[in-house]
Chain A
């Protein structure tokens, strides 16, 4: 009996092994065949991107790139890569001279670093060499930023920013002298002081606070501190970290926090609290409030942030497309750049990822609806005459320390009620050291 079973077992195992070997041979053969086909005629380019890395976004960009392949016959290998990995890979490829990456998609800060190292191709003569990018205009601010270290380092690809969202119900509590239109258009009356009064009204007249921020463990509130409040109150993100203006700013924030929903310290993104109406006025990244606008476009307005004594500070996130020096297929890469900056493609990107177009022509092509609401708010903020644009500093691995300094200051000053000046003075040397250690100017 047991012998019969063991024979059966032996046969089963042998069959499994044979199947496995057979499958292995078939797979090897099939992949060889595929390799031959791909290598023969079609050009295949490598597109390494630190953006659009979440699975849904990857699925979207890959299907979009298939359209490109159909049109041009150029195959694109989209490589989702972290900034650290990209830096290491690009460095070794540039140093060894064997460059495999044809196109880089990365944030402004990262591209700035690559350009400073001389790893990027100057794109200024590409339009005349490989064909102009006709029918699209890039805003001046983006054109200016994309010229780095003496070269045209990248073509602006997508932008993102942070905005405020207002539930229509909140407008009836506006302080006197401030109209909903002031808020929507971002006029000079829409200031942080007015915002404070509004927040106070909301709390006192509705019975509970209605202003919220994403200060949860994965929230982006830290960006509000260094990229919005600091530039608006001191004119700089870090340079005037412990100045008298900064002390005034923290006093302001302490005052404001009395009228902020306490659950803010657990919010990672504001879409949910807005939809649940726990929060009526919120600040967050466009991608993180998109869901609320999409579900109830008639309920919310997307508005510019308020202005402070030094202007309307806000962060502009710019993603650009760059071609590494000595890249194998610059012509094909340029064709892909041309494809990705087409207005209709940029609208598709907005619809699927929440990143905003970099070409002016695209805004007119957005169908009315939630995205139009969003795009209008973003456009109003970017065209504000008192804009103080802040770019997220590219501190690489030290980015976490940078954020932690502002978070620590906030926790100590606002949540734990510690002395403002003392806390700031204690943290300031660390902050300056961060920039010094990376050889960067303090923004």
Chain B
């Protein structure tokens, strides 16, 4: 059907053609205002001085100033992510498989596992700071059990602080990975398992050829969310180690509040954003679920 001019189209159809765009408009406006505008402002803060001239001053400060901890912060942020995320994913995976089976007290156990999710990161940091203190619960327990004779000092010693951060983060944020994987696991239809049983598949084969591939999309979502959070890690580190273990978000905060250098803070924020986007892209590329391509 061809139409020569717009006049012959009824008005209602004309409008309805634009409905999808109209429906997208609020989201677009939201993104422009809450992501686009701050991004532009961030770039302006980081690369332009107050007079509006382009400047490398903030980049130079970040890279070359003796007071800047940028490289350490980058190192520790990546190191923390590299240590924490694999632990979290494997623990969450194990837990999800465990909870997929039926056992008494399952619901109670489930709530207990998810509980840390409701606690803010700073609060979690403070809880563990008190617990791991020289006279905290942890040391008291070990001393009462006779495992140690002197309290273990966690704070003020970098390696121990690193350990404390890993413990706290695993305790606090494994739940979110677990929830996503557990949901994915429950969505796998029982027909697949039944079919596998009919063909005599072993437990390992069932895991390898049914659970794992069908769980990939959930795993991808969990990994993306966890990694993005990992690059923003701040509250736990700040409460447990201060700037002993510098991280990117912590340095951004320090530059903004103590150094009063908003340009440097903006630069840190942009670096965190760039890191997150690139890692997100890598995940999406490599974790593309195969069955989706196969024709669903």
Contact = CB atoms under 8 A, between A and B. Distances in A.
Interface of A: 207-208, 215-217, 261-266, 276-278, 397-401, 403-405, 407-408, 412, 415, 423, 426-427, 430
Contacts, number: 69
A277 B259 CA distance: 33
A276 B153 contact: no
A399 B259 CA distance: 7
Nearest to A222: B258
A206 B139 CA distance: 18
Given A399-B260, A400-B258, A400-B259, 6 more contacts: A207-B150, A263-B154, A266-B244, A278-B134, A397-B260, A412-B66
Nearest to B257: A400
Interface residues of B, number: 25
Nearest to A395: B260
Given A217-B243, A405-B67, A262 B153 contact: yes
Contacts of A398: 260
A408 B153 CA distance: 24
A426 B155 contact: no
Interface of B: 66-67, 129, 133-135, 150, 153-157, 161, 238, 240-244, 250, 254, 258-261
Contacts of A216: 242
B213 to A, nearest CB: 45
B124 to A, nearest CB: 15
Interface centre among B67, B241, B244, B254 (most CB of A within 10 A): B67
B66 A265 contact: no
Contacts of A278: 133-135
B156 A264 contact: yes
A404 B67 contact: yes
Query: For chain A, what secondary structure do more than half of its interface residues adopt (helix, strand, loop), or is it mixed?
Result: helix
A278 B133 CA distance: 9
B150 A263 contact: no
Contacts of A412: 66
Nearest to B65: A430
A13 B40 CA distance: 39
Nearest to B160: A262
A276 B135 contact: yes
Contact of A263 (B134, B254, B258): B134
B134 to A, nearest CB: 5
Contact of A265 (B134, B244, B259, B260): B244
A399 B238 CA distance: 22
A224 to B, nearest CB: 16
A350 to B, nearest CB: 28
A278 to B, nearest CB: 5
Given A400-B259, A404-B259, A261 B156 contact: yes
B32 to A, nearest CB: 29
B129 A208 contact: no
Nearest to A402: B259
A407 B243 CA distance: 11
Nearest to B244: A265
A427 B66 CA distance: 7
A427 B68 CA distance: 12
Contacts of B66: 408, 412, 423, 426-427, 430
Contacts of B259: 400-401, 404
Contacts of A397: 260
Residue with the highest number of chain B CB atoms closer than 10 Å, among A262, A412, A427, A430:
A262
Nearest to B161: A266
A430 B161 CA distance: 31
A266 B241 CA distance: 6
A208 B152 CA distance: 11
Nearest to B154: A263
5 contacts: A263-B153, A265-B244, A399-B260, A400-B259, A400-B261
A430 B65 CA distance: 10
